[in-house]
Structure 1
């Protein structure tokens, strides 16, 4: 699954553990509500108890990797759920040792602007013009007021990947991030005709660890993207 050298040719990435936002949104969508009904800002949503367990599980998984493949640097989204996930990983994988750690805002989730607190039903009822625009232009290019399009996310993730190639050559890098960012990485490095191009949701389970090839040489040793393992299977 991994190339034999120690360059940053293989990039590990994981979605944060289950968050309060994941639970609240799933409940709101299932019950047909228009609003999420949560006071916390998106960047301040914590992990659930299960999410903390998943973060600890990721740490133990990384600890069990061969030393030559264990990450030497973590790049993390500034959102609370990602930071708490990284904290759990570090506590269980790097206790008594050092790991380079950097917060990178380019790894944050997509900004939804004025529709961020709404369910799909809520968008259709309260902003029918935006729902119609999203249907017309497609989700890849749709940018809600105050928010981002999927294309915007791909562009900032592309810049982040370019920096990893330039600044972290010789390091093994783990990204602790969000579903849309992993979709964007897959779009750039793996399957450009995948979820983002097809307007799919691009579902990425919480706490699943992926390996990506950052260059063509590594691509011969690593598939477009590989699932290392997932907490759901543990």
Structure 2
């Protein structure tokens, strides 16, 4: 028995998502957040979104086969899956907290808006424009290529799982997007084209499938959010990473 499905869940809206949107709207340089990135919690709406996800997972029969759960160490991802499992009346599957599933690190650009980057790190902004999102690594941070490297090691571990058919991963928008990139073997142009027309919504579900170990992965579903409106009327939010690689939460 080998893992033939990966279900990727992005966390619900976080308080940092809300703060980032406000900072951009008012033209501030800095996003005011009360927690370090690893400790950022869900917003009230994020909790509603996570609760709406639970019945959707149950209705889809997430635990009809042998399931394992791998979770980012960040609080917002752990809150999301805990709320969802409880709301769906689901049994908590064997869980692994994996630091490689953490959100992308932005180094010196962390908690800066687009305007803040332009004001405080104009040289970094020029580097980003020159290198592009795929290869640009902010000082002290990670490029998309860096995140993909750690996700390749995660997927190597997936191939070693025994007695599990379906892996559920609760993590972040960059992790979802770049896991799809790795599984579909997308190079820089193909991934950037895909990212230009696809955004990972909060509390969304993305599904990948293969026939068995060594078989190619196929994308069955990307950023499904129908459960939010249908189940609870919870608002759909995206809060994507910005074109200059700045985001919060």
Normalization by structure 2: what TM-score? Answer: 0.81
1:190 Cα offset (Å): 3.0
Instruction: Identify the residue that residue 57 of structure 1 maps to in structure 2.
Output: 52
1:186 paired with 2:180, answer yes
1:204 paired with 2:204, answer no
1:133 paired with 2:127, answer yes
Q: 1:39 to 1:170 in 2, by over 3 A?
A: closer
Instruction: Identify the residue that residue 172 of structure 1 maps to in structure 2.
Output: 166
Would you say how many aligned residue pairs link Structure 1 and Structure 2? 227
Which moves more between the two structures, 15-24 or 195-204?
A: 195-204
Instruction: Identify the residue that residue 241 of structure 2 maps to in structure 1.
Output: none
Q: Could you tell me which of 96, 114, 117 is aligned with 1:123?
A: 117
Q: 1:53 to 1:219 in 2, by over 3 A?
A: farther
Contact 1:138–1:199 under 8 Å retained in 2? no
1:39 Cα offset (Å): 3.0
Where 2:96 maps in the other structure, the secondary structure is: strand
Distance of 1:112 and 1:196 partners within structure 2: 19
1:100 paired with 2:94, answer yes
Which moves more between the two structures, 58-67 or 173-182?
A: 58-67
Where 1:39 maps in the other structure, the secondary structure is: coil
Contact 1:196–1:202 under 8 Å retained in 2? no
Instruction: Identify the residue that residue 157 of structure 1 maps to in structure 2.
Output: 151
Distance of 2:134 and 2:200 partners within structure 1: 17
Distance of 1:177 and 1:202 partners within structure 2: 17
Q: 1:48 to 1:70 in 2, by over 3 A?
A: farther
Distance of 2:162 and 2:113 partners within structure 1: 39
Normalization by structure 1: what TM-score? Answer: 0.86
Contact 2:200–2:223 under 8 Å retained in 1? no
